[in-house]
Amino acid sequence: MQKHTKRVLISLLLTVFTVVCFKTPGFAEHCVAGDHKDPGLMAADIVIARPVGAMATLTGLAIFVVSAPFSALGGNIPEAWTSLVISPAKYTFKRPLGHLDCE
């Protein structure tokens, strides 16, 4: 049972990493300030999107730490930091509740 749980967790983390790294940008879409009182969207945001975003932020941080020497050699530490840590963190912690597709 322990082995099965570990495989599921690894699969989940790899899925989150893949989604975060290869997500398509919202073309010219921005968060619009306003009343979003849809309880379904808010519940999905709290239960699904925020925990996945937090895991993506931690996973991105771990990948950044591992890749930092290579990023330093290539001279692209700021880009790596922004892509791997800042983007998922903004998605998780800066976006209004219920806005599932805004950064």
pLDDT value of position 34: 55
pLDDT of residue 25: 47
pLDDT at 26: 44
The predicted pLDDT at position 2 comes to: 78
Chain segment 39-79, per-residue pLDDT in tens = 888 898 999 999 999 999 999 999 999 999 999 999 999 99
CA distances from residue 88 to 3, 17, 32, 95 in whole angstroms, order as listed? 29, 10, 19, 11
pLDDT higher than threshold 60 for residue 15: yes
Please tell me the pTM assigned to this model: 0.62
